[in-house]
Structure 1
Amino acid sequence: MSTPDEIRSFLTSRRARITPERAGVPVFGGARRVPGLRREEVAHLAGVSTDYYAKLERGRTRGASREVLDAIARALQLDDIEREHLLNLVDVTAAPHRRKPRPKTPAAATPGTQAVLDAITVPAIVQNARLDVVAANALGAALYPLPPKGAALFNAAAFQFLDRRARDFYIDFARAKRNAVALLHQAAGRDPFDDALIRLIGQLSTQSDEFRSLWASHDVIRYQRGTKRYRHPAVGDLEFGYESFDLTTEPGLTMLVYTVEPHSPTAERMAVLASWAKTPLDSPPHRAETS
């Protein structure tokens, strides 16, 4: 999909979710042919003409000022991440001399980043914007079904939508898939010319009906903090808090650090997994009993 089409689909989807009542727009009766707000209502809330907003919604955004885009973001009640996504999409359509250069998405972490990972005593991984795991410490590698060194990178989205093992691995499977698609959407808005990302989205779109359906929602998120729950094939159910850190020295990479509640069942099971991670064996430990 071209960037103008992405802008059109994104703005249309955001407009459809805002009811007149939520936007404070008076309704005078009569059937409404569209869900959410009409174009003229968004234009009125943003302080622009209906024709001008309609042009923007068709993806013809060249020359649109930051003030106008911010006004549209407020009218559509975009959150900070959605607003950033809109600005990224518009930036891509700008004239070449105005377009901000995008750093290439890294496919590996530096030795310094790996040393930091190895010093962390809880599971930790580094992902790029395509959701490739480019580095991990020993516990992070034991937690995820990572391929052996030298093989293709583990991609979380491809695993979730194309690998049957994922259904058993993610306890909150539906949420994990929604989040993966939203993260990829945000990455595609930031760098729609990333060839590897284009190939990944194309592969997932052609091989997964569910991915195509979720992609059409145009939701976007960014890693921050939260909770993740997994069902590990060797040690059973695990629940983590996590924090994310963008690596300023390696733009495009994010470190995810998983925290464990002391004396919890997860802490006990992670002790078993840690023992396995330190042991040079080819087979995992026997599955721990769950309570």
Structure 2
Amino acid sequence: MDVSKQVREFLMTRRARISPEDAGLPPGDGKRRVEGLRREEVAVLAGVSTEYYAQIERGDIARASEEILHAIASALRFDDVERQHLMDLSRAAGPRTRRPQQPSRIHANVQQLMDAMPGVPASVQNGRLDLLATNALGRALYAEVYDRHTGTGLPNLARYLFLDERSRQTFPDWDAVAEDAVATLQAEAARQPGMKAFVQLIGQLSTTSREFGALWAKHNVSTHQRGTKRVHHPLVGEIALNYEALELPGFAGLQLVTFLPEPGSRAADALRLLGSWSTPEQHAPNADETEAADVATPEPGESAWR
């Protein structure tokens, strides 16, 4: 993937969503050729020259100062995640440096922590939505993802969503779940340049799923740390669970995700029933399912993108 192209398309889609009136500018005369703000209007709002902003939007972002990038982010009304994404893109466009390697296995203590919560579905996932490990109830909750996983490597939520029609039954709110997944992948793309496995994942999804391609082209970014997810399980039916995604200190890019039902709800009863059928042996993928391609240094001639 081309970093300059990602910068250009991200900034173009962001300014397309803001009208001059929204930005406090006069609407101007004549019909606009493009939606939203023009480049010169963004430049005025950011306090830079039109040519300088145009250079940044064309992808020449590595030399821009943080002050300038923050000014552009404010002009385009970025939220915190979009602002951070712009900073990550700037770093990705700069000289390649070795990034912390993202582990493909978890520490035994993390597995013990999950296993110590037998009544709570828990999993560990990385930024490209690989399921690195689960406890027994988490494995039971994601039974469809695991059971329908084929090939080498770890089960991946994005592959399941876009390449398996059963995912639309598993996730009744498929459209929202799919949008969230792609927005998470977009944010991760700039954080971890040089990861071959990411390039392969995005290439596979882009060439196989039109839905993925359409969502990827929007360049929306997000990090979903909490919310509610509806899951339809083949044994207990549909359940609504509140999830929390917690960063694991010392483990670059890994999140511990837990799911909790409302107390006294049907989902709580269903989860207890599901727990009575699960066994501790179900909790984690085999050691040989980890991906050897999960390294931080790009191969010769490879794009500095995951």
Q: Is the 8 A contact 1:128 1:252 kept in 2?
A: yes
For 1:236 and 1:275, how far apart are their aligned partners in 2? 15
Aligned to 1:58: 58
- Per-residue CA distance 1:179-226 (angstroms, 9 max, x = gap): 111111111111131100110000101111111111000001113111
SS, match of residue 146 in structure 2 = coil
For 1:109 and 1:224, how far apart are their aligned partners in 2? 20
SS, match of residue 29 in structure 2 = coil
Aligned to 1:37: 37
- Per-residue CA distance 1:120-141 (angstroms, 9 max, x = gap): 2311111011100001111100
**Partner AA of 2:227 in structure 1:** G
Q: How does 1:125-144 map to 2 (within 5 A)?
A: 125-144=123-142
For 1:107 and 1:280, how far apart are their aligned partners in 2? 20
For 1:105 and 1:25, how far apart are their aligned partners in 2? 45
Q: TM-score when scaled to structure 1? A: 0.91
Aligned to 2:121: 123
State the number of aligned residues.
278
Aligned to 1:250: 251
Unmatched 5+ residue regions in structure 2? 283-306
Q: 1:151 to 1:61 in 2, by over 3 A?
A: closer
Aligned to 1:70: 70
Aligned to 1:104: 101
- Per-residue CA distance 1:28-85 (angstroms, 9 max, x = gap): 3321111000000000000000000000000011321000000000000011101111
Q: Is the 8 A contact 1:105 1:129 kept in 2?
A: no
Aligned to 2:25: 25
Q: Greater relative contact order: 1 or 2 (C-alpha under 8 angstroms, separation 6 or more)? A: 2
Q: 1:279 to 1:122 in 2, by over 3 A?
A: closer
Q: How does 1:234-273 map to 2 (within 5 A)?
A: 234-273=235-274
Q: Is the 8 A contact 1:244 1:255 kept in 2?
A: yes
Aligned to 2:204: 203
Identity of aligned residues (%): 47
Q: How does 1:160-179 map to 2 (within 5 A)?
A: 160-179=161-180
Q: Is the 8 A contact 2:135 2:280 kept in 1?
A: no
For 1:32 and 1:242, how far apart are their aligned partners in 2? 43
Aligned to 1:289: none
Q: Once structures 1 and 2 are overlaid, which stretch shifts more, 40-49 or 180-189?
A: 180-189
Q: Once structures 1 and 2 are overlaid, which stretch shifts more, 72-81 or 186-195?
A: 186-195
Q: Is the 8 A contact 1:103 1:252 kept in 2?
A: no
Unmatched 5+ residue regions in structure 1? 282-291
Q: Is the 8 A contact 1:192 1:198 kept in 2?
A: no
